[in-house]
Structure 1
Amino acid sequence: MKDGDVIQWWFGDENTVIAEINVKADSIAVYDDVLDGRFRDRLKLDNQTGSLTITNITIKHAGRYELQINTVRKIFSLTVFAEISVKEGDSVSLNPDLTEMKDDDVIKWRFLAKNTVIAEINVKADRFTVYDDVLDGRFRDRLKLDKQTGSLTITNTTIKHAGEYELQIKYIMVYFSLTVIGEFKNIVSDGGRFSHSKP
């Protein structure tokens, strides 16, 4: 960094400053208590390079980051992947960790194996929709969409529900990898072929 550099890191739609360095004033600061404290004890700012490290990432950290060095700006988009395992027959909630949705939010849930939208919320249009008859009806009567938080619940899961799910909120992308563990018994080998019956 040069002697006159001022570096600021911003996060999200509100362009909230989360860290800054003023070389001339010899000051370095992280503002980890902003935005409901989601960055508390997670930010590390390098006073030599200006790089920002976020430790112990959660879904709440996904989104748009902006770096400003004097008059130069760079934009970073952070995508977060969450892994979830559930037993076949159980319910699972894919939770974006939103405390509440904004008036102009549009949320889309996709099942990525077939790149198919399975649920959608348009707050401005007051529209909350699940598309549970797509993909051979595997989601029929199994999807529940929370109108407050945007979370998606899949009830009575089967192996067909395993895979990648994408949540899109404006330019924020969050991915969930769902593993469904089947319970099998009476596995019989017959010349290299296997058959099973569920309990």
Structure 2
Amino acid sequence: MTSDPEELNRSEEHHNGVNVNIVPVMEGDSVTLHTDVAKYIHYVQWSFGPEHTIIIIQFNGRTPNITYFNVERIRDRLQIDNQTGSLTIRNIQITDNGLYELRMKKYRLLFNVTVYARLPIPIVTSDSSNCLSNCSLLCSAVNVSHVTLSWYKGNSLLSSISVSDLSISLSLPLEVEYQDENTYSCVINNPISNKTQHLLDINQFCKTSADGVKIVSVMEGDSVTLHANASDIPRRYMRNIMWRFAPEDTRIVRDIRLDEKTGEIIYHEDDIFRDRLQIDNQTGSLTIRNIRTTDSGLYQMYGLFLRESFNVTVYARLPIPVITRDSSCFSSSSGSSSVSRCVLLCSVFNVSHMTLSWYKGNSLLSSISVSDLISSVSLHLEVEYQDNNTYSCVLNNPISNQTRHLNVSELCQT
């Protein structure tokens, strides 16, 4: 895909009194910077890049004489128009960002080229950090920069957040009602492209069972409040409210209620929640502090006029993945050429309910998922030596992620 220069160069700014053409382009595309002069001019000079690359084009008759300086990094991706001196950059990279200066005999042009990374599709999950009576959603994108993340209801913008520098994880919450029938979408965009995740059925994310059990996800060590919405119940009936907890891993049922006289919490079984619970005496809502994975299970609130149920899943905090070089490095040959490749291994230990993935930039390369507790999970990646692409290994569960960025030159030393 070649960007249309007439469209790109309409936007201008000024640099030391010289007009600067603003040129946005997508990573991997091609772009042409036009000299906008008639053919067979005498002299053209391009200069750009951190290496102070210089290209001098002298036209003697129909065959130009082109001289390159400090052009090794980008030489095989450049093309010079033999008639006008216009410069084309193929397979443009993020590192090609910057100011490109064109000098000719009588005038000078500047092009400010901004290369944007290809955008990932946003990921929408239920949000554990705000366990309200409504459903809380979280839209996220990883390893992004110069983007805006937005929530829409139909065509109406609800909220947005923007970042300029590289952000390992960008998230935006949204609160909706259970059984909401509106259409929502989460959009990530930069000045030249966008990706959208549509929520056609809110019940896919705001899960309730047939009897109205609300699904709650929370991170180990955090606090969560299970909202009972009992504020309209006459206060004299609040003493009849009781919470019952049925853990996932046992058949023991634990009852929890407030003492009518002292207002203190009464435990009718062993006090595994000692000093970690709080019941709101106005609403009946239950707060669990410093929650543990053993606190996962079904929580039910009983009252004379109200019954609420919550299925709580507590996820362990994720470790940062570890990247090592695999001992099985090898060379693969094709015809007369031989390409050395480096085999890498991304690993995590003692994890459950998670996915381990390799990314090249924002593109998913491979992944593996586990549900039960497992002592070790690993995922291979094969790259060429001297590979200049950006790779990362991401570990995620439904509510969080951890990322380890790969330095190919550091791990794949020949």
TM-score by length of 2: 0.26
Q: Which has the larger radius of gyration?
A: 2
TM-score by length of 1: 0.49
